[in-house]
Structure 1
Amino acid sequence: MIEIQNVTKEYDTKNGTVVGVDNVSLTIREGEIFGIVGYSGAGKSSLLRCINLLERPTKGTIKVDGVDLTKLKGESLRRARLKIGMIFQHFYLISQKTVFENVAFALKAAKVPKDQIKPRVEELLEMVGLSDKKDVYPAQLSGGQKQRVAIARALANNPTVLLCDEATSALDPKTTKSILKLLKKINKELNITIVLITHEMDVVKEICDRMAVMEKGRIIEEGRVYDIFASPKEQLTKEFISSVISYDIPEAILLECTGTIVKVTFKGKVAGEGVISDTLKVHQVDGNFLHGSIEYIQDEPLGIFIMELKGEKQEIEKALRYIENRAAQVEVINYGI
């Protein structure tokens, strides 16, 4: 478990003090994949680096597995950091060393006995699917293969936490999917807590259990990924989600509509059921679908539909109540003329 309590990180610049992280408190549960989302400058990288004290917080405490890292220094901090692996956007492999040597470097730095290094490196390379690349150099690898080497290196000392700093931002979509699949496998098989920062909502949607949205150094929204996708509260969160799931209706289409425009969100199993069709049968209203689809977030369906309802106002209100009572969230976008 990671417990971040009232953490602030300030930077002194020639133009004065800049606040990178502003009084953030956050609990990340053991064994979960937690996403931190925000635009550049939101403070997410600063917060991530505070977790392993690459950046020492100006104020507040960071506890990992019950140990307050902010109270540690020197050798005791170095030992604690061995349990926190980290991977970066640009891999940071040593170009003059082979794949095997890059992974072995982490073990040598931790003073692992020489006779234990070779079998451990071979085990790690097999885990990330690079056993056949152990004798090649980074320049001979693709971006995805380089990131797999970086992941193997980060796992070398059996960490309980893996920090991912924009780990897929430099990769193409297909390679990104393969890396996310690998991270999910590592999380499940090794029960490693993964903290992943990104500006890509596709990444969060693919593998994260819970998430937080950061803006100007603060967390403005936090919760289960599914719940945030279903009911985002902050405007910034809505902007991020719209990059993955967009339901904007052209203004020209809306101007042609004379009925009541509603957005209907179905959660869970009910998303695949015929609630809308049942509604139109039961009530004296006509429906016209304008947009909609069923998304799957962590294999759980989320149905979002935008439709026009026509009929008497009283009948439309009854229809909306009927839909709401069937595990749906209804938002009226525009009342009929």
Structure 2
Amino acid sequence: MIQIQNLTKTYMTKRGAVTGVDNVTMDIKKGEIFGIVGYSGAGKSSLIRCINLLERPTSGNIIVDGKDLTSLKGGELRKARLKIGMIFQHFSLISQKTVYNNIAFALRAAGMNARDIDVRVSELLEMVGLAEKRNVYPAQLSGGQKQRVGIARALANNPDVLLCDEATSALDPNTTLSILHLLKDINRKLNITIVLITHEMNVVKEICDRMAIMQGGVVIEEGQVYDIFADPQQELTKEFISSVVSFNVPEQILSETEGLLVKLLFKGAMAGEGVVSDMLQKYQIKGNFLHGSIEYIQERPLGIFIMELKGEKATIAEALKYLESRATLVEVVGNGN
């Protein structure tokens, strides 16, 4: 659906050339929700603005639904952009226009007649849950309601792609969750491809299918969200994931342990099975859970545990072999006191 090929975006500043996006290649599939994660300055916003040519790449190609946007100009480019909707962090609504007219504005710009505009705006307001707010002004809306208007406006011309640039970072956690659920519902109903820029891993964990981590304008890791959470390869990725899934055990607890400290990771159905309890009974060793949780990512369980094992050294070694045959990851992280 979206092919980004060797994309580079360079900015000229008083201090010279600065590379915002550095030779990025990426394929985003039809109908998926793809998250691009990075800290401020990583290049993620520059990348998303290049996808719809709000910023023209210095080099490389952007191919959307078979059309190379970088080769289009004038009317052809404007027509192609109609199939790419975009929502922004700070809503970008016109304060002097009602909710109805904020959405209708995009349709009038596309040349739709008044009767069809009224039908389409009514459909969109129902879709985002704001039918009763059609005649109010942005100042009368909450942040979440403003973003719902932004989503409706972005969907006005039936786009194939929806770009979201930090669309939830100005919202409180509960409102963020409601907006994410709305986006996921829209994705499922319309089969629209969503590209979501964020620095919050909770956002990615909640709705994305695949993701990429950016640093210094470069994609340093990419893959299925579940797989990256289960086995992150890069230190920055591990740092992001630790904000959502913590492996840390307080130092005071660690200082009081005497046995072997083991980190266990179980993927899929295995996360809900009694592997650890079976192991403790089978090998008659003592186990003490220090930390543990089962996270649900893409509706699949991921079990993460840190525990202390006590017993004969040889017996513990056998127990670890048993765990290795059942768990996705078994890692000794400490030897106690």
Quick check: TM above 0.5? yes
In structure 2, C-alpha distance between the alignment counterparts of 1:26 and 1:316, rounded to whole Å = 45
Distance, in Å, in 2 between the alignment partners of 1:331 and 1:84 is 45
Q: What is the CA-CA distance between 1:327 and the residue it aligns to?
A: 4.1
Cα offset, 1:284, TM superposition: 4.1
| 2:162 aligned partner | 162
Could you tell me which amino acid in structure 2 is paired with residue 282 of structure 1? Answer: K
Shift of 1:313: 3.1
Instruction: Please state how far the C-alpha of 1:306 moved relative to its aligned partner.
Output: 0.2
| Structure 2, unaligned runs of 5 or more | none
- Structure 2 partner of 1:47: 47
**Which whole-Å CA distance do the structure 2 matches of 1:71 and 1:45 have between them?**
22
Quote the residue 1:279 is aligned against: 279
- Map 1:15-30; keep pairs closer than 5 Å: 15-30=15-30
- In the alignment, what sits opposite 2:204? 204
CA distance in 1: counterparts of 2:77 and 2:331, whole angstroms: 51
The 3-state SS of whatever aligns with 2:326 is coil
Q: How far apart, CA to CA, are the structure 1 residues paired with 2:266 and 2:19?
A: 40
- Is residue 38 of structure 1 aligned with residue 38 of structure 2? yes
| CA distance in 2 between partners of 1:307 and 1:181 (Å) | 35
Assess if the C-alpha contact under 8 Å between 2:128 and 2:182 holds in 1.
yes
User: After superposition, what is the alpha-carbon deviation per residue over 1:110-163, rounded to whole angstroms, capped at 9, x for unaligned?
Assistant: 112232111011111110011100000000000000000000000000000000
Amino acid at match of 1:243: S
Residue matched to 2:111: 111
Query: What displacement does 1:286 show?
Result: 1.9
Q: Specify the code of the residue in structure 2 equivalent to 1:166.
A: E
Cα distance in 2 for residues equivalent to 1:101 and 1:119: 13
Counterpart secondary structure, 2:31? coil
Q: Matched residue pairs, number?
A: 337
Gaps in structure 1 of 5+ consecutive residues: none
Distance (whole Å) between structure 2 residues aligned to residue 336 and residue 139 of structure 1:
59
Percent identity, aligned pairs only? 72
- Displacement of 1:336: 5.1
Paired letter, 1:76: E
CA displacement 1:281-337 (0-9 Å, x = unmatched): 112432111100111112211110001112233322221221121142112212356
- Name the structure 2 match of 1:139: 139
Letter in 2 for 1:130: L
Return the alpha-carbon distance in structure 2 between the equivalents of residues 336 and 315 of structure 1: 17
Task: Note the 1:118-267 alignment, pairs <5 A.
Answer: 118-267=118-267
CA contact (8 A) 2:264 2:327 kept: no
* Equivalence for 1:63: 63
Which string of whole-angstrom CA distances, capped at 9 and with x for unpartnered residues, describes residues 195-253 of structure 1? 00101111111100111111111111111111111111111111111111112112222
- Secondary structure at the aligned position of 2:329 is classed as strand
For 1:325, what is the secondary structure of its paired residue? Answer: helix
Deviation by residue 1:9-66 (Cα, 9 ceiling, x = unmatched)? 1000000110100111111110000101110000000011111111111111111111
8 Å CA contact 2:263–2:332 kept in 1: the answer is yes
Q: CA deviation at 1:255?
A: 2.2
Alpha-carbon separation, structure 2, partners of 1:313 and 1:10: 58
SS class of match (2:111): coil
Separation of aligned partners in 2, 1:298 and 1:207 = 7
The two structures have a TM-score, normalised by structure 2, of: 0.98
1:100 matched to 2:92? The reply is: no
Deviations 1:54-105 (A, max 9, x none): 1111111111111111111111111000000000000000001000000000
Specify the code of the residue in structure 2 equivalent to 1:125: L
